[in-house]
Structure 1
Amino acid sequence: MRFIDAEHDSPVISGLTREVEEDMCTLRWIWPRSIDAVYIRKTSAEQTEPAAGDTANLKLYTRAEYKANNGYHSRIEGIGRYCYTVYACQEGSGGPQLVLQQDRGNSIEISSGRAKIYYTISDKSGFWRKFKTIQIQVTSEVPIAKDVLCYVKKQGGYPVNKEDGLLYPFVASFAAGRNVLPAIEVGKQDHIRLFFTDGRKYGQIYELISV
């Protein structure tokens, strides 16, 4: 089994749709006339296209099964965004060939609720010191990439959004569970809050909660 790039005459998947009901997702698509089977892969939405030769986590699904079940059914487990990719399968001289579609028309995303991210910010300062020490702690239900969150520093008050002060990125990703970040020093009148780097995008996946 191997992947091949789609050409103008390759069988490709089109019309891919999803229907989510409780913990079950149903996929339906238009089958090319020349194929009788597909391979389906479920990954996290952040994962890139598999490298050539990577055939892990692929499930064979036939046209007959699709017809009998009125689509492809998959149970949704956990929290976050997932991507389903349906690869048309054609027989070649070396065995099954799975068609990679550059238009991504054979991929679709689903979201299974929002994962909660809790954070606390504590500070310590001395009477004679010009600075105070800030300790950030992030506790998440799921792993988080480092570019999901940022922190913003503002003098004289708490920032109300990521544009309301100086924005700083995080340099490492967050593991599921409790993450205690290295302490940082800021001015005595500085205040810090955490924000999503892209609220519209990540606000659909995570819930950011200050505790």
Structure 2
Amino acid sequence: MTSISIIGSGKMSGAIAEVASRAGAGIQIIKRSATSTSAARPGLEYGVMGDELTGDLVVLAVPYGAYAGILEHYREQLSEKVVIDISNPIDFSTYDRLRSPADSSTAAELAKLLPEGSAVVKAFNVNLGDTLVSGTNGTTRTTVLYAGDYADAKMSVAALIEAAGMRAVDVGPLTRARELEAMGFLQIIMAALGRTRYESGFTLLE
């Protein structure tokens, strides 16, 4: 099985670490500093910002606004890596819009900044952390939607998802990341308003 480096130490970092653990992947967690708290499982490999990335897959489990700082440390190391963008760039001052360009997405903007050989896959942004940890949405398997332009990169992400016992659904090229971000926006807003639970989520019935 592949290995994964997760940059960030919040709830989604911990949730994706749980997914990777179920899939039998090697896991590295990169924290902002040695004193940063982490929601990830104990007993994993930990590093701090600037340490070498050991994973074949690299998950940016931080807000989109933190991407520039991450690229200062890791842009060249991300060459030949599969980079997974999980962000939902919601304007939390209004809870009424996405902050990504109207004709683009955080994933597409990230792809423009990465070196040749990097492959961006949008994934996990439509899933709340609790549904990744449990692997279920109610009584159904958690569905993870993903988008990207490179078949090999998408196959690697799908293999991780499926090895963790969840359903992976390819929604198309990276241009579909815009629609995934709109879905993620709706999901988070509904949960914040109490109209859904944080243990719930979108799914596709088989």
Normalising by structure 1, we get a TM-score of 0.26
Normalising by structure 2, we get a TM-score of 0.27
Larger Rg: 1
Normalized per residue, which structure has more helix?
A: 2
Normalized per residue, which structure has more strand?
A: 1
